[in-house]
Structures are given as structure tokens and as C-alpha cells.
Amino acid sequence: PRVPSLNQYLYESQFFAQMVHVYDDSKKLLGVTDAFPSGITIPANSGKLTLRLQIRHEDPQALEKLNQQVLWVERTIGDVSLSIHNSHMSMVANVGTFTKRLLKPDRSTAVFVSTPTQESLGKIKGLKCGDVLEGTVSY
């Protein structure tokens, strides 16, 4: 889990500490992370999860302003195939795909990556509106 507004800040943060505890539906602690989040391994069939964000500060009013913090949960979903195009227009119209080309040293080219299709998104278990997909491209 990540708290984008607080993560990566330690000594320069106005808050003294931050921790995220992850519990399964039987209240078993699955893991803890802090200002520098690391991966917490969560079993595939762990059911409903509870995440508890704890932030320390001497002023209760400063803490009250953080009452509605955004918390990101990252999980692996497997491969999602996307089509690659030569131009923005061909990507939008979903016509043609990227053609192979040889680049000279110190040269670059633009590639346009399509969004996933509704069909491919429908195959991802637990995906909800507002979820963010992030990944890498291999050449």
C-alpha cells in the first residue's frame, strides 16, 4: 500500500511517523509498511482486507486534515496485451499497427500505445472503475 501524499518523506515531513498495517478478514496482520513502502505479500484468497493508516503528530488539528487520505493498493494482474501504432490517429481509429523500423544510433521514434479493450479488462478479476493500470514495455 502507498500513501502518495506522505510516502518518501521522512525527516523533511511535518508528520513524525506513518505506518500502514494490512489485516485479513480474520484480523490477522499480513504486513506493515512505512514512509518507504515495500511489497507486502498477500495470499490470493485472503478475502476482504483492512488497511489501517497511522500518522503521528502533536497537533490533533493537523491530523484531522489528513482524515481522507488516498491510499493505493498495488497488485499483480498478469499480462494485458495492447496494440502499438505509428501515429496518434491510427491509435484512435484502431487501424494498422506499428511497423518495424531500423533506427540509427542517437535517433528516436514515437510509438502510440492503445488503451486496453473492454474485453481484456473484463477478464481482470476485481477490477473496478477508478483503478489504475501501470506496467512496462519490452522491445
State pLDDT tens for residues 24-69. 888 999 888 887 777 777 776 777 888 888 888 888 888 888 888 7
State pLDDT tens for residues 120-130. 888 777 777 77
Q: Are 56 and 17 in contact (CB under 8 A)?
A: yes
100 and 50 co-located in one domain: no
Whether residue 132 is contained in a domain is answered as no
Whether residue 137 is contained in a domain is answered as no
Q: Kindly indicate the confidence band of residue 138, based on its pLDDT and cuts at 50, 70 and 90.
A: confident
Parent domain of 52: 1-78
Question: Which residues does residue 50 pair with via DSSP β-bridges, in sequence order?
Answer: 23
How are beta strands 17-23 and 50-56 bridged, if at all?
antiparallel
45 and 94 co-located in one domain: no
Q: Tell if the pTM clears 0.95, that is, is over it.
A: no
Split into its structural domains, the chain has a count of 2
Whether residue 53 is contained in a domain is answered as yes
Whether residue 133 is contained in a domain is answered as no
109 and 93 co-located in one domain: yes
* Contact residues for 15 (Cβ-Cβ < 8 A; gap 6+): 6, 55, 56, 57, 62, 66
State pLDDT tens for residues 3-25. 776 777 766 677 777 788 889 88
6 and 58 co-located in one domain: yes
38 and 90 co-located in one domain: no
Residue 5 and residue 11: Cα distance in Å, rounded?
A: 15
20 and 55 co-located in one domain: yes
